[in-house]
Amino acid sequence: MAWYFFRRVLQMIPVFIGATFLIYFMVFALPGDPVLAMFGDKTPSPAIVAELRAQYNLDKPFIVQYLLYLGGLFTFDFGTSFSGRPVSDLLASAFPITFKLAMLAIAFEAIAGIAIGLFAGLRKGKLFDASALVVSLLLISVPTFVIGFVLQYVFAVQLGWVNATVGQGAPLKDLILPAIVLASVSFAYIVRLTRTSVSDNLGADYVRTATAKGLSRGRVVRVHVLRNSLIPVVTFLGTDIGALMVGAIVTEGIFNIKGVGGTVYQAIIRGEGPTVVSFVAVMVIIFMVANLLVDLLYALLDPRIRYAK
Amino acid sequence: MTQESSHTMNATTAPTTGRPLLEVTDLEVSFHTQNGIVNAVRGVSFSLNAGESLAIVGESGSGKSTSATAIIDLLPGTGKVTGGSIRLDGTELVGISRAEMEAIRGSQIGYVPQDPMSNLNPVWNIGFQVMETLLANGIAKSRKEAEAKAIQVLQDAGLPDAGKRLRQYPHQFSGGMRQRALIGIGLSSQPKLLIADEPTSALDVTVQRVILDHLNTLTRELGTSVIFITHDLGLAAERAEKLVVMYRGQVVESGPSREILANPLHPYTQRLVAAAPSLASRRMQAVKSHENVAIAAPTAALDLTLIERAEQREEAATAASPIISLRDVTKQYKIRTGGFKTELFTAVDKVSFDVHPGTTTAIVGESGSGKSTIAKMVLKLEDVTAGNVLVDGTDVTAIRSAKDVLAFRRRVQPVFQDPYGTLDPLYNIAQTIAEPLVVHGVGTAKERTARVRELLDQVSLPVSTMSRYPNELSGGQRQRIAVARALALKPDVLVLDEAVSALDVLVQGQILNLLTELQSEMGLSYLFITHDLAVVRLVADSVCVMKSGQIVESATTDEVFDSPREQYTKDLLAAIPGAGIELGA
Amino acid sequence: MPNNDSRSPEHYVAPLDETPLLVIDKVDENAKPSNLWLDAWRSLRHSPIFWISSSMILFILFVGLFPFLFTNEPPNNKCDLDNSNGGPEAGHPFGFTKLGCDVFARVVYGAQPSLTVGITATLLVVIVGVILGALAGFYGGFFDTIISRVGDMFFAIPVVLGAIVLMQTLSGTRNALTVALILSIFAWPQVARITRGAVLSAKNSDYVTASIALGVTRFRVLMRHVLPNSLAPVIVVATVSLGTFIVAEATLSYLGVGLPSSVMSWGNDISQAQSSIRTAPQTLLYPAGALSLTVLSFLMLGDVVRDALDPKARAR
């Protein structure tokens, strides 16, 4: 297990360096003035331009610029936002809110997705299964922001059950609807994945053997079918964190949540390029770290990984 | 007779209530498929007394496994019992509720599955999987008790260090150890009946023998009745008192094993007995007695040609210089041993042998013995670490230029084991057989088509096969295509890597017959790689026995079978199922 | 009844006419011809979902190619603020947008950019992913290490996040092709991974070894045997990706970093409808519905094709 963890961290280092380099390269090494390009149609004040040039060391060779940026990342210096505030300051207030929202979303998509996927897999070809498939396909087809508008309109505006926007401090009850919106697409994927995985595992030899041993149907399903079906679902959760981040930008924008996603959303809308770039870089880093954690969870679930040399 | 009959005596003295333990009457099982309803089992009846053992024998698709799994209601997919009755100790099992069946499984009827690799759940440790069986069947009341009993179960199943093994996971076990664990699980609740579905067919013969012996001892101690499902007539006769022969979903013959083997009455059983390599080829002359079998088994003809050919080959072998000659061939691989360390693993260790023109040399060994690596090196698919491979005097290892490699490929061709993997599923048969001709630029398109027809004829397949695709053909037919493809360039040598191992015994006999005919027609030399000593007897002129990368014994086939020198060879011979059974006239 | 009533096993033989012997391993010359693609087609032919989704896709492609056949409104010319957020009326079945444009015409004309992005990005991803994945899987070693590691780096950046950053810096040249290009920059590793896996398993099959032993060159083996046998999963992923690229484009446009707002696209229209959802839900509903139906069609097609190409699923 320790060896596995060590190896995963080791593998992550070049990926981390490569990915941050890619982002940095895309922003600063492409033709044109990167600082001006960040502002799009708007004209920034010369002071901000000068500060950005200094911050990104644009006077130095490209590779030095990147190394200085990378060094900054390790000291939690993520750059400066459009308004001149350090990104790390903005993060400190925004991250906890997004974390809370993301945890709610993951809890929802995992619990509901696995439960519905399990029932659909056990009743493959029946009405419940068919409806679960149709609903999941629909959820994947409709963009998150449309689901967001519609749910916001129906539950907040029409029915008045919840607030249309999230209030100060992001109380939990305000976050429930945004979390459902955020989780919707991933929920659909988890339903489909669990269903396939469960129906595959139902046909596995070890499940037949477990039945032959005299175990009850319920125990066979819980201990052998479900447990084994969770392995691909956990792997999916790893890559899904990336989708959740994109979703967070959209969802937090719609519900006016002042989290990481909301900040990026506002920055994009206002054309504040530096803020966007800095925040997205941080999101990529979070994505990688989260993936590492999911890999550990995966190892806990699958002894073949855990004991691999 | 032999010691098995005393076993019968014990069983019949076991207390019974005057009726059989298991009575299967007119069993009907059908599957719902895209092409309609398939009746996989039709009117099957058999019965089994307490303490008795019975074997259901048949080819793949004969319905033998389906009949057995129907007993514990574990039919796969859409399978359903549509008629008949199954009585255990007088209680009807057909149509009982799920809960009632759950109470019978494990505690009354145990089950040992076929493939040890896929039948243990990879995410739970062995102890957990034994303990849950004990708890579910009420053998243990607490976890602590279950753990103590689980250790006992694994010990009884012949796993040393059972206490430590409890915490290990299936992937840390070898195939033989997993099968022992599965046998332990199957017997853990001391059922009255054990169903063993090809329990050892995935294992090496020597391991197979040890495990079957152990299973025998355990069931005899417990007085358990056993149903073996097997494709191997020799194994069935050796391990069971009663035999049920199934063919196309029906029982064609049943009765005492020895009697059926000595005097098969149904033509299908006669075919099976004649074709079973482990039985029929006990001695080549002995097989002649099957000539008078009414519906002649293809192998009967084979046996005659074999004898003729053997005489011719013996002359040839001494005369000419070897067509293939290996001199101190060694192959080493780097393997990772954890962390960043690697270690050299010697797969083949200083192996030398010759194949003489027009003869067959067999390489026999268990999995991991290095026999397939030799095949790959002779085919120049793997490089040699040290030593020389000479084909007709030329050192193959030294060939470098593309032209010379191509010239070499024309002379040495392979046929592989898996009939389902050996042909590209997207190529039709004509394209498949013509590919070597195209690659080597032989003939015009028209000439190539003519050659494909000729080759199909040589492997006894109709010309209409040309437009078919591999998935439309049976395993045996695919192997014929593979042989035709290998022959397209008129090679001198065929390397047959387990070429008949995956086939049902009758089909296997047919292909062996074909290979023997082709050898005599074309003067081909065969390098015959196999794990199955019984088949070797049918086709090989000389044998090399391999173990852990080395040749431990090398001699003519008759010498190896009649007077083996090495203990390992003796073990292998003894492990052939049914080897000890003397056939009646 | 054979040996039921008897305790001592009697020797039972079935009459031969009950189970006549067949010739061993006879070729059934009357069997229907079949191979992987033919079997897949047979199973697709009987699937209503296949016909529904593929005819939907054909219809949407037709609309995208020839929008002027479906509406005689040149959509941007006749926007009339008097009709702002107006409901359906004769000749304008879907009503009007906030700026008084005909929603129906905008939905019809909006198909083209969405499809262009989806199709172009899919083509790029498949070309790059299949070539790199096949090289990595087939030649292994150095190729594999480099391609897989570089793929990991791109894979570590979620597609839309990466696209947001790049589109941000490319503000001057935003159009359907750049959006497609940028989406494919971050999406190719998925196809490469799948191709690599399929190629690896095909490479280790006996028919490939047999071909090499026949003297077929490695490149020919790759092109003639390995690649054709690795395409099935790629086709499935490509179909599904096409749908998800369309959603990604809409998301980027919604955020304002996709297609410029002057381009008529479903994403832009949905984005603009956000403010008028209470007064004129039709401005949101129709473009969102068109987009979702398109994506749904591709997802459903991917689903049925996956089932058809997987012999295991078909047998069940």
- Tell me which residue of C175, C182, C178 sits closest to C260, measured CA to CA: C175
Q: Which of C19, C29, C213 sits opposite B252 (nearest CB)?
A: C19
Number of Cβ atoms within 10 Å of the Cβ of B315: 10
Residues B218 and B194: their CA atoms lie apart, in Å, by 11
What is the residue whose two structure tokens read 């009907």? Answer: B28
The helix (H) or strand (E) run that includes residue B389 is strand B386-391
Question: Which residues, at least 6 apart from C219, have a Cβ–Cβ distance to it below 8 Å?
Answer: none
Number of folded domains in chain A? 2
Please determine, for residue B294, whether its predicted confidence score (pLDDT) is greater than 60.
no
Co-location of A49 and A145 in the same domain = no
Residue A256: DSSP 8-state: T
Q: How confident is the model at residue A4 (pLDDT cuts 50, 70, 90)?
A: confident
CB B130 within 8 A of CB B185: yes
CB B108 within 8 A of CB B96: no
Co-location of A65 and A188 in the same domain = no
pLDDT, residue B2, reads 39
Give bridge partners of residue B245 from the DSSP assignment.
B57, B253
Distance from CA of A9 to the nearest CA of B (A): 14
Residues B303 and B291: their CA atoms lie apart, in Å, by 9
Question: pLDDT averaged over chain B?
Answer: 85
User: What angle do helix axes B475-487 and B429-439 make, rounded to 10 degrees?
Assistant: 20
Of A35-49, A285-299, B265-279, C1-15, the one with minimum mean pLDDT is C1-15
Q: Which of C243, C244, C277 sits opposite A149 (nearest CB)?
A: C277
- Tell me which residue of B465, B472, B475 sits closest to B429, measured CA to CA: B465
- Inter-chain contact C3–B266, Cβ cutoff 8 Å? no
Q: How confident is the model at residue B292 (pLDDT cuts 50, 70, 90)?
A: very low
- Select from A74, A102, A130 the last residue of a domain: A74
Tens of pLDDT, residues B349-381: 999 999 999 899 999 998 888 899 999 999 999
- Inter-chain contact C161–A280, Cβ cutoff 8 Å? yes
What is the residue whose two structure tokens read 């690599």? Answer: C196
Q: How confident is the model at residue B338 (pLDDT cuts 50, 70, 90)?
A: low
In percent, how much of chain C has pLDDT > 70?
90
More confident residue, B289 or A233: A233
Rounded to 10 degrees, the C-alpha dihedral C300/C305/C310/C314 comes to: 80
pLDDT, residue B287, reads 32
Could you tell me the strand order of the sheet in which B342-355 lies? B342-355, B324-336, B386-391, B394-395
Best residue of C171, C185, C282, C299 to probe chain A, by most A CBs closer than 10 Å = C171
Residues B229 and B195: their CA atoms lie apart, in Å, by 8
| Chain A, nearest residue to B338 by Cα | A309
Please determine, for residue C261, whether its predicted confidence score (pLDDT) is greater than 50.
yes
- Tell me which residue of B558, B563, B562, B533 sits closest to B545, measured CA to CA: B533
In percent, how much of chain B has pLDDT > 70?
88
Q: How confident is the model at residue B296 (pLDDT cuts 50, 70, 90)?
A: very low
Q: Which two tokens stand for residue A111?
A: 């619990």
Please determine, for residue C298, whether its predicted confidence score (pLDDT) is greater than 80.
yes
Co-location of A28 and A157 in the same domain = no
Co-location of A109 and A58 in the same domain = no
pLDDT, residue A278, reads 78
Co-location of A46 and A150 in the same domain = no
- Inter-chain contact B435–C216, Cβ cutoff 8 Å? yes
pLDDT, residue C103, reads 81
B74-95 exposure pattern, b = at least 16 Cβ within 10 A, e = fewer: bbeeebebebbebbbeeeebbe
Please determine, for residue A60, whether its predicted confidence score (pLDDT) is greater than 80.
no
**Residues, chain B, total?**
585
Q: With an 8 Å Cβ cutoff, is C14 touching chain B?
A: yes
Q: Which two tokens stand for residue A261?
A: 């996603």
* C-alpha to C-alpha distances, B574 to B7, B210, B556, B571, nearest whole angstrom: 20, 11, 18, 5
Average pLDDT value for residue range C24-36: 73
- Select from A74, A100, A129 the last residue of a domain: A74
Average pLDDT value for residue range C179-201: 93
pLDDT, residue A210, reads 95
pLDDT, residue B584, reads 44
pLDDT, residue C209, reads 92
Half-sphere exposure of residue A78: CA atoms within 13 angstroms, side-chain side: 24
Please determine, for residue B113, whether its predicted confidence score (pLDDT) is greater than 80.
yes
Q: Would you say residue A129 lies in a domain?
A: yes
Please determine, for residue B114, whether its predicted confidence score (pLDDT) is greater than 90.
no
Co-location of A21 and A91 in the same domain = no
Residues B304 and B402: their CA atoms lie apart, in Å, by 43
pLDDT, residue B254, reads 92
Which residue type is seen at C47? S
- Inter-chain contact B337–A309, Cβ cutoff 8 Å? yes
Co-location of A119 and A254 in the same domain = yes
Co-location of A52 and A160 in the same domain = no
CB B355 within 8 A of CB B361: yes
Please determine, for residue C84, whether its predicted confidence score (pLDDT) is greater than 80.
no
Rg, Å, chain C Cα set: 28
Please determine, for residue B77, whether its predicted confidence score (pLDDT) is greater than 50.
yes
More confident residue, B385 or C97: B385
- Inter-chain contact B102–A212, Cβ cutoff 8 Å? no
CB B452 within 8 A of CB B434: yes
Question: Which residues, at least 6 apart from B308, have a Cβ–Cβ distance to it below 8 Å?
Answer: none
Give bridge partners of residue B46 from the DSSP assignment.
B24
Residues C151 and C187: their CA atoms lie apart, in Å, by 9
- Inter-chain contact C153–A15, Cβ cutoff 8 Å? yes
- Of the segments A6-20, B172-186, C87-101, which one has the largest average pLDDT value? B172-186
Distance from CA of A295 to the nearest CA of B (A): 16
More confident residue, B158 or B580: B158
Tens of pLDDT, residues B478-497: 999 999 999 999 999 999 99
pLDDT, residue C8, reads 43
- The parent domain of residue A64 ranges over 2-74
Q: How confident is the model at residue B44 (pLDDT cuts 50, 70, 90)?
A: very high
DSSP three-state, residue C304: helix
Domain ranges, ordered by start, for chain B: 290-392+492-585
Q: How confident is the model at residue C315 (pLDDT cuts 50, 70, 90)?
A: very low
DSSP three-state, residue A226: helix
Residues C255 and A267: their CA atoms lie apart, in Å, by 10
CB B511 within 8 A of CB B499: yes
The interface pTM score, or ipTM, of the predicted complex is 0.84
* C-alpha to C-alpha distances, C239 to A239, C202, C233, C262, C296, nearest whole angstrom: 20, 22, 10, 29, 11
DSSP assignment of B54-95: EEEE--TTSSHHHHHHHHTT---TT-EEEEEEEEETTEE-TT
In percent, how much of chain B has pLDDT > 90?
48
DSSP assignment of C234-249: HHHHHHHHHHHHHHHH
Average pLDDT value for residue range A108-137: 93
DSSP assignment of C7-69: SSPP-EE--TTTSPPPPTT---TTSPP--HHHHHHHHHHT-HHHHHHHHHHHHHHHHHH-GGG
Distance from CA of B343 to the nearest CA of C (A): 19
Residues A132 and A195: their CA atoms lie apart, in Å, by 9
Please determine, for residue A55, whether its predicted confidence score (pLDDT) is greater than 70.
no
More confident residue, B506 or C172: B506
Q: How confident is the model at residue C133 (pLDDT cuts 50, 70, 90)?
A: very high
In percent, how much of chain C has pLDDT > 90?
36
Please determine, for residue B282, whether its predicted confidence score (pLDDT) is greater than 50.
no
Q: Which of B265, B268, B472 sits opposite C34 (nearest CB)?
A: B472
In percent, how much of chain A has pLDDT > 90?
30
Q: With an 8 Å Cβ cutoff, is A288 touching chain B?
A: no
pLDDT, residue B5, reads 39
Q: Would you say residue A273 lies in a domain?
A: yes
pLDDT, residue B488, reads 93
- Which residues of chain B lie closer than 8 angstroms to C37, CB-CB? 426
Of A215-219, A250-254, A261-265, A279-283, the one with minimum mean pLDDT is A279-283
Could you please state the CATH topology (level 3) that the domain comprising B290-392+492-585 is classified under: Rossmann fold (3.40.50)
Write a three-state SS string for B526-575: EEEEECCHHHHHHHCCEEEEEECCEEEEEEEHHHHHHCCCCHHHHHHHHH
pLDDT, residue A56, reads 65
pLDDT, residue B430, reads 93
CB A81 within 8 A of CB A272: yes
Average pLDDT value for residue range C264-275: 84
Question: Which residues, at least 6 apart from B321, have a Cβ–Cβ distance to it below 8 Å?
Answer: B393
Residues A243 and A182: their CA atoms lie apart, in Å, by 9
pLDDT, residue B419, reads 84
pLDDT, residue B318, reads 55
Tens of pLDDT, residues B542-573: 999 999 899 999 999 888 888 899 999 998 88
- Inter-chain contact C153–A19, Cβ cutoff 8 Å? yes
Phi, psi of C13 (to 5 degrees): -130, 130
Q: Which of A37, A137, A277 sits opposite C296 (nearest CB)?
A: A137
Of A139-148, B316-325, B373-382, C163-172, the one with minimum mean pLDDT is B316-325
| Chain A, nearest residue to B114 by Cα | A205
What is the residue whose two structure tokens read 């199954």? Answer: B86
pLDDT, residue B306, reads 55
The helix (H) or strand (E) run that includes residue B28 is strand B22-33
Average pLDDT value for residue range B135-143: 91
Question: Which residues, at least 6 apart from C17, have a Cβ–Cβ distance to it below 8 Å?
Answer: none
What is the residue whose two structure tokens read 């083949």? Answer: B348
Q: Would you say residue A80 lies in a domain?
A: no
Tens of pLDDT, residues B490-549: 999 999 998 888 888 888 888 888 998 899 888 899 999 998 888 888 888 899 999 989
Q: Which two tokens stand for residue C22?
A: 């067949």
Q: With an 8 Å Cβ cutoff, is C48 touching chain B?
A: no
pLDDT, residue B317, reads 52
Q: How confident is the model at residue B6 (pLDDT cuts 50, 70, 90)?
A: very low
- Tell me which residue of B224, B218, B183, B217 sits closest to B200, measured CA to CA: B183
pLDDT, residue B304, reads 52
Q: Would you say residue A82 lies in a domain?
A: no
pLDDT, residue C7, reads 35
pLDDT, residue A50, reads 75
Co-location of A66 and A211 in the same domain = no
Average pLDDT value for residue range B393-399: 88
Q: Which domains does chain C have, with CATH numbers?
A: 37-67+103-315 (1.10.3720.10)
CB B89 within 8 A of CB B18: no
Specify the pairing of strand B550-556 against strand B542-547.
Answer: antiparallel
